[in-house]
Chains A and B, each alone.
Chain A
């Protein structure tokens, strides 16, 4: 297994010097008419897992842990038939990274389709950044995380992606993040959660951009 490389794009200095972003969004990033060919790529869903460190703390394994996370997920492997999706997301990530973050990045991990059903779906506050290896390498880590909303906001209740930066997001921004097709990108060290879904089903596509450890 390996990851799909992203465009090297550091140093373009598009963001004003000293301006720093906790998250960024692109509305209408994913089109409704592309839902069928996306769903065709999704394998049978299984229970989501979390990393659990072993006793020595040097390695971790994936286990189901409903204290933290309860949802169904399916991984979309990079193949010829999913190339269009990786290309679309690669372009979006390259844009967000050069505009807002300017991180050294290498590639995108396998995309994850997520389903949070009513009464059982949630993901408590957590970081995506942390110890552990990615594709057997310990010199890279998750640097940017992203979510693409695939459910219409009125088709489910609860299930908000909450970004905990210590600053309250205003109502308009919270609404934007919930919009169908919206791409939300944030540094993987940002504490975040998906609040419990109380009605309907929330679907999303999530992923991680990896690169050398933060310097």
Chain B
């Protein structure tokens, strides 16, 4: 019975590791970023592909996510897509309205059954560095209260990609995070 709505490993990345990812992410942002400025989403993001430089990061994420999957979900998973470094800045009230990651997108034309199944977020900023910017996962009553438990820097949160979730507006400072998706054949 593995039907968790989310799973958390607190502070599994050290402050030094978070700093290293932030440096690499900020450098990638300089090289080119996608800026979302719509009503539903305001943030700056860039992709982080698994180069040899970030190889340790994918290995570490996969190790923790495999454990989450074994204990809490039991999904058939194939691989992690390129990671997305995300910056939510209070200067433009960065946020991302309610949405799901699961959907009709085809990532691999040779395997159209592949979809996002397990989403995750790594908190790269210390909670003192920003206000607002809560990741909230909506399973109905009392969901907002839970978000207080996984704010710590270096904490990895995973959840089924079909779960409705959002980032509330950042009202002070800057929130940086790394988000990603484990993909596999559609839920059956």
Query: Which residue numbers of A lie inside 8 Å of B, CB to CB?
Result: 10, 17-20, 67-68, 102-104, 124-127, 129-131, 133, 138-139, 141, 164-166, 187, 189-191, 213-215
Contacts and interface: CB of A to CB of B under 8 A. Distances in A.
Interface in B44-78: 74-76
A126 B5 CA distance: 12
B72 to A, nearest CB: 11
The dominant DSSP class at the A interface is loop
Interface in B146-167: 160, 162-164
Interface in B87-123: 97-100, 102-106, 112-113, 115
Contact of B138 (A17, A104, A187, A191): A191
B164 A103 contact: no
Interface residues of B, number: 30
Given A20-B102, A125-B140, A215 B164 contact: no
A11 to B, nearest CB: 10
Given A18-B113, A131-B3, A166 B139 contact: no
B27 to A, nearest CB: 32
Contacts of B102: 20
Contacts of B162: 187, 189-190
Contacts of A191: 138-140, 164
B162 to A, nearest CB: 5
A110 B74 CA distance: 28
B79 interface: no
A208 to B, nearest CB: 14
The dominant DSSP class at the B interface is loop
B140 A215 contact: no
B74 A20 contact: no
A214 B140 CA distance: 20
A18 B76 contact: no
Interface of B: 1-3, 5, 74-76, 97-100, 102-106, 112-113, 115, 138-141, 160, 162-164, 186-188
25 contacts: A17-B113, A18-B115, A19-B104, A20-B186, A68-B141, A103-B187, A103-B188, A127-B5, A127-B140, A129-B3, A131-B1, A131-B3, A133-B1, A138-B1, A164-B138, A164-B164, A165-B100, A166-B99, A189-B162, A189-B163, A191-B138, A191-B139, A213-B2, A214-B187, A215-B75
A214 B117 CA distance: 10
Contacts of B115: 18, 20
B141 A166 contact: no
B163 A126 contact: no
A138 B1 CA distance: 6
Residue with the highest number of chain B CB atoms closer than 10 Å, among A20, A138, A164, A187: A20
A126 B140 CA distance: 4
Contact of A189 (B2, B105, B160): B160
A138 B97 CA distance: 34
A191 B159 CA distance: 15
Nearest to B163: A189
Contacts of A126: 139-141
Contacts of B106: 17-18
Given A189-B160, A215-B75, A215-B187, 20 more contacts: A20-B102, A67-B141, A68-B141, A102-B186, A125-B140, A126-B140, A127-B5, A131-B1, A131-B3, A164-B98, A164-B138, A165-B100, A166-B98, A166-B99, A190-B162, A191-B138, A191-B139, A213-B2, A213-B3, A214-B187
